[in-house]
Structure 1
Amino acid sequence: MAKFLPTNIDYLIGQRIQQKRKEMGYTAEWLSEQVDISQPQLSRYERGVNKINVAHLVAIAIFLKTPISYFFSDFMGQFDWNDDELDRNWQNLTQEQKRALVYFLQSLSNQAETWKNKSKSF
């Protein structure tokens, strides 16, 4: 059976998990209990010494109310085909800023729909 060794990507994902966990004021013990993994396993993920199980990463993302893309942002931005400015910057916005941006985008969309309907009537 092949053994999958952790890579730099595993380390970067682990750093993101730890960063978000601390940002939200959770201990590793608390987070591990909430997502039903052992605290030593979470620690190994955060240190990048174990490859993270996708189901565990999804559980962590859901519990932390964080888009899964957040955990990949350190290494995905380097590719030309993944040059999404909004996606990269979204993670740095506060909840209030995110709500304001969504409201602004909805307003633009509604305004565009209004103009579209008006132009049909001519």
Structure 2
Amino acid sequence: MPDKKNIYALLGNHLRKARVGKGLSGNELAAIINLSQQQISRYELGINKLSLDKLIEIVIFLEIDIDDITSLISKQVEYEKGVCLAD
């Protein structure tokens, strides 16, 4: 079974890169989507789970291709399957 923490961290890192690429601070994104800056930080660090609703809201705002996200997650799952099989 894939480590969910790794998936949340991978997703959060991707979202952070997209936010920074748009020239937004964590505070700015938080204000736009009605969250605290701390919550944005926790999402980006993979500490807190990101609901599908919030993920969609962030993806739309940051103009992220949802296929990129599903591809990242799929690659991580496949990697972890390979690691588990090798053990």
TM-score greater than 0.5 by the shorter chain: yes
Residue identity (%): 33
Opposite residue 7 of structure 2, the aligned amino acid is I
Q: CA-to-partner distance for each residue in 1:54-81, whole Å, 9 max, x for gaps? A: 111111011111122323332314678x
CA distance in 2, matches of 1:52, 1:19: 16
Note the C-alpha offset of 1:47.
0.5
Q: CA-to-partner distance for each residue in 1:25-70, whole Å, 9 max, x for gaps? A: 1101101111111111110000011111111111101111112232
Q: CA-to-partner distance for each residue in 1:67-102, whole Å, 9 max, x for gaps? A: 22323332314678xxxxxxxxxxxxxxxxxxxxxx
Opposite residue 58 of structure 1, the aligned amino acid is I
Q: Does 1:10 align with 2:8?
A: yes
CA distance in 1, matches of 2:55, 2:27: 16
CA distance in 2, matches of 1:8, 1:79: 9
Residue of structure 1 aligned with 2:74, choices 73, 76, 87: 76
TM-score w.r.t. structure 1 length?
A: 0.55
Give aligned pairs, total.
Answer: 75
Runs of 5+ consecutive residues of structure 2 not aligned to the other structure: 79-87
**More helix by proportion, 1 or 2?**
2
Native 8 Å contact 1:11 1:46 kept in 2: yes
**Structure of larger gyration radius:** 1
**Secondary structure in structure 2 of the residue aligned to 1:63:** helix
TM-score w.r.t. structure 2 length?
A: 0.75
Opposite residue 48 of structure 1, the aligned amino acid is G
Distance 1:79 1:15, change over 3 A: closer
Flag the structure with more relative contact order, 1 or 2, with Cα contacts below 8 A and sequence separation at least 6: 2
Native 8 Å contact 1:28 1:39 kept in 2: yes
Native 8 Å contact 2:11 2:73 kept in 1: no
**Secondary structure in structure 2 of the residue aligned to 1:7:** helix
CA distance in 1, matches of 2:48, 2:34: 17
Moved over 4 A (4+): none
